[in-house]
Amino acid sequence: MSESTLRTWWATPLVGLAGGYLASLVGWPLPWMVGSLLAVILVRCLTPWQIGEIPNGRKCGQWIIGVGIGLHFTPQVVEQVASHFGLIFFGALITSVSSLIGVWLLLRTGEDRATAFFSSMPGGSGEMVNLGARNGAVLSRVAAGQSLRVLAVVLCVPAAFKFLLGDGVPLSHAGTVDGYWLALIAPLGVLAALLWQRLRQPNPWLFGPLLVASSISIGANLHTGLPDGASQLGQWLIGSGLGCHFNRAFFRRAPSFLGRTLVATALTMLLAGLAAWALSALTALDLRSLTLGMMPGGIAEMSLTAETLQLSVPLVTALQVMRLLFVLFLAEPLFRHWAGERTSANP
């Protein structure tokens, strides 16, 4: 690692730690993620000091969180989640379709179809930038829209759940730590992430470890979890990394575009909440878990929120994964059909 590279990021973990510690003192939900995220953003926006992302730090954080999420899956939990497959399918479909609100709003600001569409799809920044590149979108706008959506959800949703809905009913899940199983799962998670990354699959450093941990946990019927402090370490690494995507230039760039993205995100979250309320009334499933699972945020962030608030992590994860699959597999074909209709209507 070169000295010039080290100079750009050496302070990032310290700034993130300070923000996480302060957030934990005031009882903020997901303090080590939200606190480190805000601290890094404030330093980058309010000072000339453009601290950089810790090399591979966010990947390491996702690896830790992926293992932690996977360990929540047991045969009993999987059976319960599978029994609600239809609900999970429908809930994820609602979240995916509601993103069309953002497409409509951005089209009204004069954005082209590709940029409006891929900026609004809740499918992950990297994946949507790649799809946008293949379809002629303005990539800087797509990346900005995706980053701002995740930022808004991470900052607003945990706080709303904590202060408006309370902490929920504690769930009976793993309270012990089995070092022998973790010594097997952790390196296998790294190998799975590297393989997933080589195959160019989405979110490899989350999904690879998650698949390994959940498969072993289900197969061996484990009832174990991560050691104390591991989740906070993952939050800190993810929050510090995410904060490095923002600076003053980001928020000054195309204020109308960013404003409409925020409005669209708020409306999407509102629709998700209303749909979750209706599904909860029909099925008697926990409203908090359903609502969180249908939020248009990242899988790691929403699953962490579920864990912190003692909600059903597997149900939230299943809803988030199903929504991601919808977007990844259907977004590009639907867009090309839409663009083809326009071409045929205007020869």
Q: What is the pLDDT of residues 171-227, one digit of tens each?
A: 444 457 888 999 999 999 999 999 999 998 888 999 999 999 999 999 999 888 899
The pLDDT value recorded for residue 2 is 54
Rg of the chain in Å (alpha carbons) = 20
The pLDDT value recorded for residue 268 is 94
The pLDDT value recorded for residue 215 is 95
The pLDDT value recorded for residue 346 is 54
Give SS3 for 177: coil
Sign of CA dihedral 326, 329, 335, 341: negative
pLDDT digits (tens, 9 = 90+) for 236-260: 999 999 999 898 988 888 888 999 9
The pLDDT value recorded for residue 170 is 44
Kindly report the pTM of this predicted structure.
Answer: 0.86
Give SS3 for 118: helix
CATH 1.10.20 fits 3-345, yes or no: no
Of 325, 306, 308, nearest in space to 317 by CA: 306
The domain limits of the chain are 3-345
pLDDT digits (tens, 9 = 90+) for 301-328: 898 888 888 888 999 999 999 998 899 8
CA distances from 38 to 31, 264, 346 (A): 10, 22, 47
The pLDDT value recorded for residue 255 is 87
Give SS3 for 254: coil
Of 170, 171, 156, nearest in space to 291 by CA: 156
The pLDDT value recorded for residue 270 is 93
C-beta of residue 9 within 8 angstroms of C-beta of residue 54: yes
Residue 272 has pLDDT above 70, yes or no: yes
The pLDDT value recorded for residue 341 is 61
Range 74-99 average pLDDT: 90
Residue 41 has pLDDT above 50, yes or no: yes
Cβ partners under 8 Å of residue 72, min gap 6: 173, 174, 214, 217, 225, 307, 313, 314, 317
The pLDDT value recorded for residue 174 is 46
The pLDDT value recorded for residue 176 is 78
